[in-house]
Chains A and B, each alone.
Chain A
């Protein structure tokens, strides 16, 4: 009888194992959307009209993406069915996909009225996706005339855009700042030693050009009617980024060939061959969710953001990785959105930073968690035993959600070993560097880790409820040690994933 049970168990596990890849794929499959109406509408561009496929769901109309992109421009990269799609317009990449009512642009997430819908004639998307991509940024207005089945697309009226140009040279880097009173519609073109900012549908109204000195990296700044052109030195390169309030488009210009006095910086960009290309760091809590509060009033949300920003800066210094923060300001962000961002960015690691608290002021030390729907193996066994109790109790609850959780757990199981490996490295480095009480590596069903499709850990960096640790965490030197410890853990993890110990010695802080 005992043998029979053993064989039956093995048979079931074998069947489950064989089906795991299919189940993991099924976890990504969005639920079918009911479409009440489908057909061809007219895409009215003013001077020309072209057909566009459309359907109507309970949330409103959706339109064939490809037809609109052909008319308005952009490079469309359709992923495999049910995976992320990319649309590149100018230099901006938009990522979206079926099953997710959101579009991501870099680290920003914009909600949509409904998720894109896969259809026989291609992916159909809601109107607000077009408005996000082509609206304010590209100068188009969209209007859906349902009775006439016509989607009208019109250019917004041309504006005069005042611009102030400022140039500063400091420590081998020239910074060019283009300041606008509002965010203009623009795209950036690059060719040889030219960087051109083209205003889309608007005209440049030069306010002033502050101090245009003879600069070793920027030879000239030319203001045209619709463009601002930077002429760089032959061996110079420009990186652009945006600052807000007021809106500023900033170019850091530096030499690509290091001079004798230039600092030795590894300019290697992230490569696809690396095992860790993108890391998402999640500063815990934010907005009205303060997280734990220390005895002297320190709020967890503030410290996690400080730590996350410092960790990002230190990681990009040390390795060729892209590092994205789930939030870069004091803002409330749903837990599900944090992992959704990591999934949409196809991150290779997800690190959620937290500070701990308990009622006792004496509890201290760091602890690192990796995800599990259950807290322990034994707990998991109990859960399997009682899994059907709620359903049996007649609670129809959210059976679909439960199924999604189970499927996610199966899919996530492939990352468990890596999550555990990273958690151990983090815990060891924190203990070694800070001499903290080792609270160890643990598993817990933390919501922010559930749904992550990559190795994911939650690091409790210390107890803010302990007066001594709160004081230490407010000390920049202590935080610097803590950040270095986290960086070392990531470097060692990356080396282990890539199967190379050589990069550890080069990169360790």
Chain B
């Protein structure tokens, strides 16, 4: 092992050590979930339904919460798939927008034992290039990620795939090579 390799190895060891310290330290604040969001009124639930919060693009270029009822399912992966499919269908409110075009479908969704959700979106057809500005891309990606992480606390982060592949960006701007976490900065409180 030459001196350079040794230096890189030492750096990696120290980074891992730092990560462990930060992880240990922050266990006391485990309740770090997205903050309170004003919601107009909750829908009435049937016995076999659960309430879910969806984060859709609003008029001001921010994410706005819409609450909807979803069928209750047993497994985490079923809940994840239902949630994503409902998110892709778009909002019910007229002043909110669907994050993705209608051609986008859920390809696959799975969750690892460590709580990482792998979500593959299948995109074909005329809008496959996703001619988006950076804000639109952030609203789509973080709208999906926030929806998943807020409703399924078992999931710690999301790896987003497009047509089966993890790409350097989802639509030309945002780095999607890494684990995606919730982004509260994009979320606006909904005005009545």
Contact = CB atoms under 8 A, between A and B. Distances in A.
Interface stretch (B17-25, B38-46, B47-55, B70-78): B17-25
A459 B136 CA distance: 15
A360 B156 CA distance: 30
Nearest to B181: A382
B173 A360 contact: no
Given A289-B172, A292-B132, A360 B14 contact: no
Interface in A423-468: 439, 442, 444-448, 450, 458, 460, 463-465
B171 to A, nearest CB: 9
A407 interface: yes
Interface string A352-372: 001111111011000101000
Majority DSSP secondary structure for residues of B touching A: mixed
Nearest to A293: B131
Contact of A405 (B17, B26, B133, B178): B178
A379 interface: yes
B151 interface: no
Given A12-B17, A357-B135, A389-B114, A362 B174 contact: no
A402 interface: yes
A401 B177 CA distance: 9
A389 B115 CA distance: 8
Given A293-B131, A362-B59, A383-B179, A393 B114 contact: yes
Interface stretch (A22-30, A145-153, A497-505): A22-30
Contacts of A290: 129, 131
B8 interface: yes
Contacts of A26: 4, 7-8, 11
Given A12-B17, A26-B8, A448 B22 contact: no
Given A291-B131, A354-B134, A406-B15, A360 B61 contact: yes
A4 to B, nearest CB: 11
A285 B134 CA distance: 11
Given A22-B11, A357-B135, A5 B25 contact: yes
B132 A446 contact: no
A398 B165 CA distance: 13
A316 interface: no
B183 A403 contact: no
A22 B7 CA distance: 8
Q: Which of A285, A289, A363, A381 has the most CB of B within 10 A?
A: A363
Nearest to A82: B4
A373 B175 contact: yes
Contacts of A360: 57-61, 97
Contact of B134 (A359, A376, A388, A446): A446
A444 B116 contact: no
Interface bin, chain A: 35 or more
Contacts of B108: none
A358 B172 contact: no
Contact of B133 (A289, A439, A445, A464): A464
Contacts of A359: 57, 97-98, 136, 139
A506 interface: no
Given A289-B129, A359-B97, A384 B22 contact: yes
Majority DSSP secondary structure for residues of A touching B: mixed
Contact of A463 (B15, B133, B182): B133
Interface string A301-326: 00000000000000000000000000
A363 B135 contact: yes
A13 B14 CA distance: 10
Nearest to A359: B97
A373 B174 CA distance: 10
A69 interface: no
Given A335-B169, A357-B135, A360-B57, A387 B19 contact: yes
A388 B19 contact: yes
Nearest to A443: B185
Contacts of A398: 177
Contacts of B31: none
Contact of A356 (B10, B14, B133, B174): B133
B59 A291 contact: no
Interface of B: 4, 7-8, 10-12, 14-19, 21-23, 25-26, 32, 57-61, 97-98, 112-116, 129, 131-136, 138-139, 156-157, 159, 168-169, 172-175, 177-179, 181-185
Given A336-B168, A463-B133, 7 more contacts: A16-B14, A22-B7, A356-B135, A360-B59, A444-B134, A447-B173, A463-B135
